[in-house]
Structure formats: structure tokens, C-alpha cells
Structure 1
Amino acid sequence: MAWCISDGYVRQVTWNEDTELITLMLWGPGDLILGSQATFECRNETTTISHVSLEGHTPTDVERHEALKRQISRSMEIMRISRIRKADDRLLTMLRWLAAQFGRVNSLGHSLSLEDMNLTHQVIAELTGLTRVTVTKSLNKFKSLAQAIPMAHGDLLLPHRADTDGFRACRSVTENSRHRQGLPPGSSPHDRGAAGYTPSNS
């Protein structure tokens, strides 16, 4: 017997002597959690990240084989990312991997729903082995460099790598235009008539 995830996200974790969580595996919609998951010799725990809907399923040999292949591949990738030394590189690589695995692709890049996956800064910290403070600082840095762009409904756009410079240049041109018009950063020309707007004297 196995469990098929129809909605939500599940992770398997272990922990070290300092009780720090180490992520071993992640599952999402459409994935099979095999009944033998809890037979590993190392101490581990399978927990939900978000609200989860499961359905019992008896897999065929082919389905079981594919599920095991997917699990090994994902676990190896999670371990590889966790060994990246520089915090910024590790976090950005993890976000891109999560978006590629569980997000949506479009012409601009991969869109990752932080809300649907319940990816709080604390959860992201646990997934990457970083502190919550480091995650918050790095995310703010990525946003300023257009490496991670906040979208509607709690989505985060991870642009195709070749497009990052274009997003950054577009943002720079926009901010320069606002400056020439005497507008504060992040505002628009329509704000001139808004209550509380004070033109710049520069």
C-alpha cells in the first residue's frame, strides 16, 4: 500500500545531535509515498508542510520503480544543495530547484507559490540548513537584484538566469525615470495627485 498526494506537500526529515532538522525528501501533488518509507535505519520523521490530501493506492511494479527513482533523485539533489557553502548560493539554488520541481513555468521563468507550499522563512531555513535571519536577508537581496521577484497571490518568480540582467536593467530604467519626474522610488506618475504626495525639490 502507498499514499498518493492529491494536494499539499510532505517532507521527510532527520535531525542531528543539536536537534537541527535535516531534510531528506520532499513530495508534492501526484507523488507516491511508499509504505516502506519508515523502514530506514536512521531516525526520521515524515511531516506535512501544508494542508495535505492523501489517497490510498496500490502501486504497480512500474509505479513503485518510478517512485523510488524520483525519491533517490530528489534526495540526492537536496543533499547536493545542502553542501553548497555560500548561503546566498545555497538558498537561490534551493528556490530554483523547488520552483522547477513544484512550481509553474512560463516565458519569464519558474513561478513558486510560497503560500500554497506554506514556505515561511522558517520552513525555508529548515530546508536549506540556514537560519531564518539569513533567509530573510538573502531573500531581500535577491528581490533587489531581480533574482527573485514577488508576484501576485504570494508567488515568487525565479527568472531564467539569462533574463536576470534584463529584469535588473528594466528596474534601473524605471527608477531613473521616477527620479527625473521627482517621484520617490516605488511610486508611479499617478501618485502626483495622491494625498500626502510631496514633490521633490531636487
Structure 2
Amino acid sequence: MPSREDIVAFHDPPVPEGASPWVDGAGPATDIEIVEPDPTWPEAYDDLAGRIRGALGWRAILIQHVGSTSVPDLPAKPVIDIDLVVADPDDEAAYLAALEAAGFELRVREPWWFGHRALRSTAPLCNLHVFGPDSPEVVKHRIFRDWLRGNSADRELYAATKREAAAAATASGEDMMQYNARKEQVVREIYQRAFIAMGLLDG
């Protein structure tokens, strides 16, 4: 379990010199489209989670639906985001081939950021994020999801922020990383309110 201090911190370590997070020429997407909430997204997650569980069995310590498609009534990019916890994300031999056989492709390798790996599936579109048991990101993603599910004002604020960021990024020819940067201030403000409400930070 990550520490309270790690959960409330925003870890953004620099890429080590000479390294790249992108695998085999992959790079950030540029197709930034925000669509209205789709009631089939939970079903798509269930199908994907079944594929992951079928591929890894008990090696999948945790599988959870995160990101905007996990929040009812929230506009989102039509991509299912999933967090997967394995014992050691750096031990790719223990899980990667099985996930590739299940239709996932490794796109990102960031051992300097809690061992993070990201895989992509196209049917349906999915970003699968792999972390270890001690990663605070898994806890943070769940906090953000649950806070937006239970707080309509912040859900509406985030929806408006996403639409504005997508429009500005598209108009400027930016990629997904730059789109995320445009949302970052509001995301952190929402996290701050959630952390205080949950007793993780003092108000």
C-alpha cells in the first residue's frame, strides 16, 4: 500500500537521459475527440477485464476501470482506461506475452515512474496501464473516479475543461500529452478537494 504522502503528491520524474518512454516508434496520439457519455462503456470494460483476467489469471492482482469512461454522465474520449496491478511490472516475462496474445500491444515503458507500462487495444479501444502494488497512481485514479461519480459540480467542471482543452489542442495541432497539460491545473484542484474531503490532506 502506498503511503499517504505518496498518494497526495504529484510525481512527475524526468525521463532519464538517453531514454524514451515510447516503444518501437510509438508516440502520443493526436486524435483528440470528446464524445457524449456512452452507456455501453461499462460493458466494454467488462469484456476487456475478462480478456485480461483470462490471459493472466491470478497474476492480475487488481483490474479496475478508471478514467472518464468509468464515470457515468461524463463526456470522454471513446477509449476505455484500465489499471492493472501485477506483482512486478518490471518483470515483463510474467505478463507481457500473455497480454499480447490477448490483443494488447505494448506502447509505453516507464520503469522510472512506478514501473509503469501502457498497452493499447483497438477492439474496443483501450489504454491498459500496468503498475505494481505500491504505486500511488492506482489509488489516485480510484479517488478521482469516485469523487467525480459523487460530486456533480466537479464532474461538470471537468467536462467543460476537457471540451475546452480538446478544442484548443486540436486547433493548435497538439497531441494527447499537450491536451493533458491543458487540463492539469483543474485536475489538481479537483484532487485537492477530494484529498481534503477524504482526510488525506488538512483543509
TM-score category, normalised to shorter length: under 0.3
TM-score by length of 2: 0.23
The structure carrying a bigger strand percent of its residues is 1
Q: Which structure is larger by alpha-carbon Rg, 1 or 2?
A: 1
Structure with the greater relative contact order (CA < 8 A, sep ≥ 6): 1 or 2? 2
